[in-house]
Structure 1
Amino acid sequence: MNPQRKMKRLLSRSALLLTAASFLTLPLATSAFAGKEGVFLSDSVYFTLDKVSLSAGADDGSLRFSLGLNNHGNSTVDFNNYGVKVIDSNGITYTARLNEKVVARVKAGETETFKFTSAIPNNLSAADLKVDIFRWNYNSTSDIGALSVESAMTEAGQSLEQQTAINLKEIDTTLADDVLITAKLGRSYKVLKDGVWMVYSDLILENQNSTSVKLPDGLELNFQDSKGLTYGAQFVSSPGALLPEEPVTVTLQSAVSASLDTDHLSLVFSPKGKVKTTVLGTISAAKSFSVSKIGDKSAYPNTEDNAALNGLEISTSWASVNKQSDGLHVQANVTLTNTSEGIVTLPTLSAEIQALRGTVAVTSSDTAVRSAYLSPNESTTFHFQGVMPASLNAEGLQVVVLEKQTVVASTTPPSGASTNALNLPVAVTSLAGAGVAGEATSYAAAQSYKIGDVLKLTSNGNIDSNIEMSLVEFGLSVNSDFGYKTVVGKYKLTNKGTSTLTLPDFQSDLTNVDGYTYAGVRQTNVAKTIAPNTSYVLNYSYMVPDVEKADKLALNLYDTNRLAVGSYKTAVQSVPTTGPISVYPFTINLDDYNLSSTYNRDTSFSYRLRLDLTVERQAQVITDANFSSLLFEIVDSEGRLLTSKSMSFTGQQKIMSGVQFIDFGTVKSEQLNSGASINVYEVVATPNGDAKRLIKTIKP
């Protein structure tokens, strides 16, 4: 006999032995009352089947059920006259063991319930099984009738469960014979914690007895793989006293091998130190490991034990994986939705981004301020991010959502119970297909974009949904004296709401097709708020190498927490040779212009530019003292700067429609050049100095 099955065989042979005297019976099974099947002893006395639970462990199964003796007659009925067994479709019988001591004599007008457990093979379905009732005739038996397990389970809406039944008497001989608990697994997670791979499993325990009971210290739990390797499992929190028929969920944790195959993993119950010789029960853990896809929605785990979370739904609603110069930037939005009709408490969540291979993981937290509760149909989104090694790719990454929980230590110190705050997993999502693969660049992932169109931002709660943003101008200037170029992007932000909003402090960078990233710098001074139904213009400058053509760029936008809100394929605008000058929200038409020079008494010369302008603007776009200015530079035929003059769009000397004169500083006589031209720049003040965007070249 297999030593691992010895104790189970002994248990199954402990048949229910009852002495009996016979009386008239009706050997048939028929409808006892509407919707329920019964086996009748007379027209007023019958058996019914209730609370059927069919369990399949890793090695064997069990059938638990309650047999009701309904006595509507005029005299007492003694259950000792009858026996119970389980029969499968092939006629093989299995012993049914009474779970608890009860009064066998059922008085007239009363109903008594008798709870049984039967050890059966784990490959039997409910359709294969019947509960057979027989009458004792001294040393022989005679069948009375059988009740369908499938019918009883269908009526109660029950199904096959992966669970096992443990007789605690086999651990602690001081306990009564009928101390039985059942165990089944909820969700399991494989998580990298402090460089060690851990398995966390939600274990649901139920006391099948009529009195409270504690798990004996001699009970040992281990995870076992297909090779027979075992990994010790401990309770994260003490189960405490198990109340009768009251399911309790506790969390198990176990340090495991990084290469552990969860598809062939079992949870094994055994007496302490005897996992190799005595098995009390096993549960297959393979199907308990839950790894979602992006967008999948599922019920928040363990709400049965925490009514405050009942009705909560969790989903990794969006994720992005982009390769940048400093590594693989991973971002994920985790959305909680209240699908119930009541208010639910919002759990405290954090996240860990882990690589399936190796020991690489980064933690992330969302510091956004949010309500402690969710109303019916309300949702909230947590935003998590991290930077992983650039050699990884999205296919091998997961985001683990962790809940901060207060638990009672599984071992109690002499001074009393101790509590700890732990971050325990509640969801794992594969990032396969998020954004782009690790070897690609953010340019490949960026969406096509036309300058002037509204930027489609990913909603993450940090940028108000009433703020509409668009890129209205995007130009390049060469700074040949310093060996670099400057890209200037102008963004229009419009308040589509009905109240004043805070101007968002978003971040930005550019990535070229080869993966090189250039950080954006925001203009120095910015308004704090934006009124409803108005627009405001913001400028960002990007310093790029002199060799950068800037014809294939990805414009990446982030919120203040560096969470990506959009990525767009862009290219710098060419400088127009004809037509008006555009300095959004202004359009300047050069109706006429003339450049002249005058001789000064000190033998120097001065340039004067006469301009006849038509200046137009969009009324709803606000300009203030923070707005950019225009710089007019006179250069000779070799491109050398001779003199310059700046003008603004606000104040007394602002650029306006009509004839205006611009007087430049003096130049030496030898600098006079008949081939002089005028470069017109838009200038933006930034923390790194002035950024210039060439918008027009005037050749007098």
Structure 2
Amino acid sequence: MVVRWKKTLSAVVLTASLLSSGYSAYAAGDLPVAAEQTSAVYSLTEALSVEVKSVLNERNDTGSRIGIVVKMENNSGRNARVPDYEVRVRTSDGLQYTLQPSATNARTVQPKEKIELSYMTSVDRTGFNVSEISWVDIDMYVYPKVETEMLTVPVQQLEWTGSGDEINRQGAVLKWGESFTIPSLTSPLRYTPSKVEEENTPTGPVKLITLLVENPGTTMETVPDFMLEGKSGKSVFKGQRAETEPITLEPGEREYIHYAIPVKNNVDLESFNLLTQENFMVADPTGKLTPIPYEIGRLNVVLPGKTGFSLHGLNRYVMDTPMKVDDVNSLIHPDVDVSLVELYMHENQGEGYKTAIAKFKLRNKGEQPVPVPVFDVDLKNSGGYTYSGVRQISSTEKLMPNLSYTVSYSFAIPESENEEKLGLFLVDSQTAKPYRTTISAYQTEIMKQDETSSRLSFYPFDVELKDWTLLTSTNPMPGYVTYSYKLQLDLDIQRKDRVVLDQSFSTMKVELIDTLGRTIAQEHFSFTGMNRLISGVQTVEFKDLRTDQYEYPLTIRIYEAIETPQGEAKRLVKTLKQH
């Protein structure tokens, strides 16, 4: 008896949605159309039905390896024994091969239970396709033996020939931003392609693909293991999940997972395949089990086209307002508001580059202390050139309730950079370490330092320079004369925002510059501590002069200086000149 195409259909619907909140590196475009896949369920016996999960026909060093995995369900109310049928495959050229069962295949199926059964064989030939699977009953108690095909099902559309194979089954090719579940798994978790970003590493460029995972079920779920491989033409690039620890999601919870795909220079990925792993177990004469793992391609997701970076695609930032941060990412606590309060850029004369300083205000609007978030900051011009910031050294670890704290970042920027608007990106370098992913992005303007104004900004302080005087004194020594300099600054210092400061807060740095542009002396002054700057006349006495000569006229440069792990960074605030 041959049973063909006797089946019921169970549909797996892939709902389509876009990432509704948080920053996405690419727009998903129009709302994708929901894709539908159908999996065929066939009756094998009165109690048992089968569904083909995986079909492998992979070329190897000795020929071809054929493996299949089927799901078997007991639809009755009592135990059902797995029939002792031979499982065979028929190829496109009409040949049949008998498969061996995995050593761990179950012998009995519990009532209403669904199990997986694995089969495999190797053949010394290539260049064929697997077209059908058959279950054959063999009566060994008659001569000649009698073979009866109990069930034959077509599987040509399910065949996977190994890494790089094309996935073109109906419902298995998805647009970027289209939500999906993994058809071969019972997990209800839903995935949405969210971001694709590129990063240059010491070993070459890496594409970082971010998937948003959602648990729509009613029980806790663990994100299963699966693989991604990037595709560019005929080339295939294996990806690896950045997270090494298991990820579990409570009902309704959302989380990101990240896959790093190393690529070659100048390679643009067109899509990625999603693969799951199967295992066939072999037992030796002592009963020791050895797994034979292999991967099966399930879905293909088309990546967004390369459109290039556009400042106009970013929302304009309003200074000193809370930035919208990806609410799925957990780097920045929900009770913490992050605001940019200053962004200045100036040229370092004689240094060959410009320096930009971005200062952020972190405010804890909650009722409990929270950790100070450690994020990275990038600036990007309209041409796509990216400048990474260096964070100041900080001694504060906790943000107290209803208080604010400042943190600064310095950027080394080419002298040729003259754009007044830049892209500002907050970057998470912790979650998918060592890779980085963007959690917020805006278009922002470089603030202008008015050289003619007497008001100097050292946020949260406004400093008014009411008057200044540079005094020179002589110090007669036996046989020669030395000189010293004192600078008197009449300052009015006002604190415009209640921000907590610690010893790592930036300082006022004053430099004396001679007519050749050389720094002959410098001093630092703090806004915190016992000897902090206060309103009134401040006297700056320069010590450790680098010259014994009388210098005139001198230039005085006033900077805001911050300490970073790479050394001191400074922002030019005011230039004074002797006349």
Q: TM-score, normalised by structure 1?
A: 0.60
Letter matched to residue 269 of structure 1? S
2:242 to 365, 383, 389: 365
Q: 1:332 to 1:205 in 2, by over 3 A?
A: same
Show the counterpart of 1:162.
40
Distance 2:412 2:271 in 1: 34
For 1:359, what is the secondary structure of its paired residue? Answer: strand
- Taking a change above 3 Å as real, the CA distance of residues 270 and 448 of structure 1, as seen in their structure-2 partners, is farther
Query: Does residue 321 of structure 1 match 2:190?
Result: no
Say if 1:494 and 1:389 are closer, same or farther in 2 by CA, change over 3 A: farther
Please, which runs of 5 or more residues in structure 1 have no aligned partner?
Answer: 1-9, 13-59, 65-158, 167-177, 256-263, 273-277
Show the counterpart of 2:429.
Answer: 559
Contact 1:192 1:354 in 2 (8 A): no
CA distance in 2 between counterparts of 1:586 and 1:627 reads 12
Report the counterpart of residue 109 of structure 2 in structure 1.
243
Cα gap change, 1:473 to 1:266, in 2 (>3 Å)? farther
Query: CA shift at 1:586, angstroms?
Result: 1.4
Q: How much does 1:11 deviate? A: 4.4
Q: CA deviation at 1:599?
A: 3.4
Q: Which amino acid aligns with 2:361?
A: K
Question: Closer, same or farther in 2 for the Cα pair 1:220/1:646, shift >3 Å?
Answer: same
Residues 1:497 and 1:290: Cα distance change in structure 2 (over 3 Å): farther
Shift of 1:516: 4.1
- Which residue of the partner structure matches residue 495 of structure 2? 617
Mapping for residues 26-425 of structure 1, pairs under 5 Å: 61-62=5-6, 162-164=40-42, 182-185=49-52, 203-206=70-73, 212-214=80-82, 216=84, 218-221=86-89, 239-241=105-107, 243=109, 246=112, 248-250=114-116, 267-269=132-134, 280-283=152-155, 284-285=157-158, 287=169, 290-298=172-180, 312-316=188-192, 318-322=194-198, 326-340=204-218, 343-349=219-225, 351-355=227-231, 357-367=234-244, 374=250, 376-393=251-268, 395-398=270-273, 400=274, 409-416=280-287, 418=289
Shift of 1:537: 1.3
What is the CA distance between 1:497 and its match in structure 2? 1.9
- Asked if the contact 1:679–1:694 (Cα under 8 Å) also holds between the matched residues in 2, the reply is yes
Q: Shift of residue 633 of structure 1?
A: 1.5
**CA separation of 1:672 and 1:201: change in aligned 2, threshold 3 A:** farther
Please state if 1:596 is matched with 2:471. Answer: yes
Q: Distance in 2 between matches of 1:476 and 1:231?
A: 72
> Corresponding residue for 2:461?
586
- Contact preservation (8 Å) 1:609, 1:661: yes
- Residue 626 of structure 1, CA deviation: 0.8
Check the 8 A contact 1:222/1:232 in 2, yes or no: no
Matched, 1:534 2:403: yes
* Residue of structure 1 aligned with 2:303, choices 432, 435, 438: 432
3-state secondary structure, aligned to 1:315: strand
Report if aligned partners of 1:487, 1:543 keep a CA contact under 8 Å in 2. Answer: yes
2:534 is equivalent to residue 659 of structure 1? no
Say whether 1:490 aligns with 2:359: yes
Q: Counterpart of 2:372?
A: 503
For 2:212, the aligned partner's letter is: V
The offset of 1:200, in angstroms, is 9.5
Give the superposition deviation at 1:186: 5.5
For 2:312 and 2:89, locate their aligned partners in 1 and report how far apart those are by CA, in whole Å: 49
AA at the equivalent of 1:558: D
In the superposition, relative to structure 1, how do residues 208 and 624 fare at CA in structure 2: closer, same or farther (>3 Å)?
closer
Deviation at 1:429, TM superposition (A): 6.2
Two-structure CA RMSD over aligned residues (Å): 4.7
In 2, Cα distance between equivalents of 1:646 and 1:397: 55
Evaluate the alpha carbon distance shift between residue 384 and residue 221 of structure 1 in structure 2; reply closer, same or farther with a 3 A threshold: same
Q: Is the 8 A contact 1:208 1:244 kept in 2?
A: no
Secondary structure at the aligned position of 2:533 is classed as: coil
Instruction: Give the Cα–Cα distance (whole angstroms) in 2 for the partners of residues 618 and 487 of structure 1.
Output: 23
Kindly state the Cα deviation for residue 511 of structure 1 after the two structures are TM-superposed.
4.0
| CA apart distance, 1:61 | 3.1
Indicate conservation of the 8 Å contact 1:510/1:553, yes or no: yes
Q: Does the residue aligned with 1:162 lie in a helix, a strand or coil? A: strand
When residues 600 and 208 of structure 1 are mapped into structure 2, their CA distance, relative to the original with a 3 A threshold, is closer
Considering only CA atoms, is the larger Rg found in Structure 1 or Structure 2?
A: 1
Q: 1:98-149 CA distances to partner (integer Å, 9 max, x unpaired)?
A: xxxxxxxxxxxxxxxxxxxxxxxxxxxxxxxxxxxxxxxxxxxxxxxxxxxx
User: How far apart are residue 499 of structure 1 and its match?
Assistant: 0.8
Describe the SS at the equivalent of 2:476. Answer: coil
Contact 1:381 1:461 in 2 (8 A): no
1:15 aligned partner:
none
The offset of 1:495, in angstroms, is: 1.5
Using a 3 Å threshold, how does the CA distance of structure 1 residues 509 and 388 change in structure 2: closer, same or farther? Answer: farther
Tell me the SS of whatever aligns to 1:651: coil
Note closer, same or farther for the CA distance 1:328–1:63 as it changes in structure 2 (3 Å cut): closer
Are the counterparts in 2 of residues 222 and 231 from structure 1 also a CA contact under 8 Å?
yes
CA–CA distance in 1 between the matches of 2:176 and 2:74?
Answer: 38
Counterpart of 1:490, as a letter, is: K
Write out per-residue CA displacement over residues 408-463 of structure 1, whole angstroms, 9 at most, x where no aligned residue.
x4444434474859797797462522xx62x7358787654344343322232233
* Residue in 2 that maps onto 1:457: 325
Structure 2: gaps (5+ residues): 9-36, 122-128, 138-148, 159-167
Q: 1:337 Cα deviation (Å)?
A: 1.1
- With over 3 angstroms needed to count, the CA separation of the structure-2 counterparts of 1:188 and 1:396, relative to structure 1, is farther
- Residue 164 of structure 1 and its aligned partner are, at CA, apart by 4.7
Query: Which whole-Å CA distance do the structure 2 matches of 1:423 and 1:385 have between them?
Result: 21
Q: How does 1:512-523 map to 2 (within 5 A)?
A: 512-523=381-392
Partners of 2:57 and 2:411 lie apart in 1 by 43
Is the 2:82–2:106 Cα contact (8 Å) retained in structure 1? yes
Q: CA deviation at 1:198?
A: 11
Counterpart contact for 2:341–2:361, Cα < 8 Å: yes
Name whichever structure is richer in helix by fraction: 1
> What SS does the aligned partner of 2:270 have?
helix
- Equivalent-residue separation in structure 2 for 1:552 and 1:253 (angstroms): 62
- Cα 1:328/1:367, change in 2 over 3 Å: closer
What is the aligned partner in structure 2 of residue 173 from structure 1? Answer: none
- 1:333-362 CA-to-partner distances (Å, cap 9, x unmatched) read 33131432xx33424546534225412112
Residue 110 of structure 1 corresponds to which residue in structure 2? none
Match of 2:507 in 1: 629
Match of 1:577 in 2: 451
Displacement of 1:678: 1.9
Cα separation, 2, equivalents of 1:432 and 1:554: 23
Amino acid corresponding to residue 285 of structure 2 in structure 1: P
Aligned length: 504
| Structure 2 CA distance for aligned equivalents of residues 237 and 444 of structure 1 | 60
Q: State the percentage of identical aligned residues.
A: 22
> Relative CO higher for 1 or 2, CA cutoff 8 Å, sep ≥ 6?
2
Contact kept in structure 2, 1:454 and 1:469, CA below 8 Å: yes
Q: List per-residue Cα deviations over 1:542-597 (Å, max 9, x = no partner).
A: 23344444646444322323333234444543322233211111111122333333
Contact 2:79 2:111 in 1 (8 A): no
Structure 1 residues 335 and 633, CA gap change in structure 2 (3 angstroms)? same
Letter matched to residue 625 of structure 1: Q
CA displacement, residues 199-223 of structure 1 (integer Å, 9 cap, x when unaligned): 9986433468997343557422368
> CA separation in 1, counterparts of 2:96 and 2:550?
88
Matches of 1:473 and 1:591 in 2, distance apart? 23
TM-score by length of 2: 0.71
The 1:373–1:586 alpha-carbon spacing in structure 2 relative to 1, beyond 3 Å, is same
* In structure 1, C-alpha distance between the alignment counterparts of 2:401 and 2:371, rounded to whole Å: 11
CA contact (8 A) 2:343 2:359 kept: yes
After superposition, the Cα gap between the structure-2 partners of 1:611 and 1:359, relative to the gap in structure 1 and judged at 3 Å, is same
